[in-house]
Amino acid sequence: MLSVEINHEQGDFSLDAVFECGAGVTALFGRSGAGKSSLVNAIAGLIRPRKGHVVFDGETLFDSAHGIHVRAGKRRFGYVFQEGRLFPHFTVQQNLVYSHWFDRALYSASDFAHVVELLGIGELLQRRPAQLSGGEKQRVAIGRALLAKPRLLLLDEPLASLDAERKHEILRYLRLLRDETRIPMIYVSHAVEEVLELADQVVLLASGRVVASGSVEAVMGRPDLRPSSGVFEGGAVIETHVIGIDLEDGLATLGFDGGTLTVGNFDAQAGERVRVRIRAREVSIALVPPQQISIQNILRGRIAAIDEARSGRVTVMIAVGAAMLRSGITRRSARQLALVPGMDVYALIKAISLDRHSG
């Protein structure tokens, strides 16, 4: 368990953040300048906040009231930066075992072999950083952090400098890392896709303040938070699992307690857990089951609430099983359909509009 309460000022910027998180991957999420990097640096011990505390697994690492500030090297946290920060004059193997030069008790041949295999860097061991691609550098940086046997792994936008192909590559390795090592992680990002792919919980930051924290499904689905974050649309995030794959048509069927969803462009395997993001603007509403239409997903649900929005729009919350879909429609459409809470309706969603992310 990590408990953070930090008040810090840096120039004109003020950071005032309070949150707690447990095992798994916690994403610090928000637009650029929200205070994510300052917050993770305070957790790491790289900056000393003006006031507050940082407690990890019952150990106080920082407490301004009692004058406690455990320096970064003693916290046993691994840190992966945006650009990797490998030593250019060392080989990959020397970079990986750098921490062992200071504490030989950390070295384990079996751990080294496991990390090298996990990250697929066996062929890179004798190369120097200048001979590596951006994705390869980040894998080595992650391996170096892991081999220091951290209690907590901090990743500050590790994909920010990579192209789309390299991002996909590193995300795959990070999922393996999450599932195999069980090391708790703090993952800093302003990209919705990365958060949905990796995180178990989210701490949403805006202007140096925590405006929401909780599960990915709860935080990323809240339309009222869009003005604070400015980086994602309102909608719903649903946990599903793959129950069927149609290779001929390139489609997959996902199951959840509200029914099934058909999605396109799919590369998961049967039984795999998948997180689906459904944007409010991609959900249409019908009062009766439509006939002879191209839309693949027709889900029966019940209107839970209707929220008025600006510019003549409304957001209709539709309960489908335990999931809460959101449909963004015009006020005129809501009036013409005479929509009211408690009404049974059908949510219509195109298969090609859904965002899928391995859970």
Q: Closest by alpha carbon to 313, among 232, 234, 260?
A: 234
Domain spans in the chain, listed from the N-terminal domain onward: 2-230, 236-358
Which pLDDT score, from 0 to 100, does residue 123 have? 94
Tell me whether strands 51-56 and 2-10 are parallel, antiparallel or unpaired.
antiparallel
Which pLDDT score, from 0 to 100, does residue 227 have? 46
Rounded to the nearest 10 degrees, how much is the dihedral formed by the CA atoms of 196, 201, 206, 207?
Answer: -130
Which pLDDT score, from 0 to 100, does residue 225 have? 58
Residues (pLDDT < 50) of the chain are 227-231
Could you tell me the CA-to-CA distances from 295 to 10, 261, 262 in Å, in that order?
A: 51, 11, 10
Q: How far is CA 56 from the centre of its chain?
A: 21
C-alpha span between 274 and 196 (Å, rounded) = 10
Q: Is CATH 3.10.20.600 the right assignment for the domain spanning 236-358?
A: no
Which pLDDT score, from 0 to 100, does residue 223 have? 62
Query: Residues 263-314: pLDDT tens digits?
Result: 886 667 788 888 888 888 889 999 999 999 999 999 999 999 998 766 788 8
| pTM, full prediction | 0.81
Q: Which CATH entry fits the domain spanning 2-230: 3.20.20.30, 3.90.1150.10, 3.40.50.300, 3.40.50.720?
A: 3.40.50.300
Which pLDDT score, from 0 to 100, does residue 95 have? 93
Which pLDDT score, from 0 to 100, does residue 165 have? 82
207: left (phi over 0), alpha (psi -120 to 50) or beta: left
Q: Give the H or E element holding residue 231.
A: none
Query: Residues 305-359: pLDDT tens digits?
Result: 998 766 788 889 999 998 889 898 999 999 999 999 999 999 999 887 776 665 5
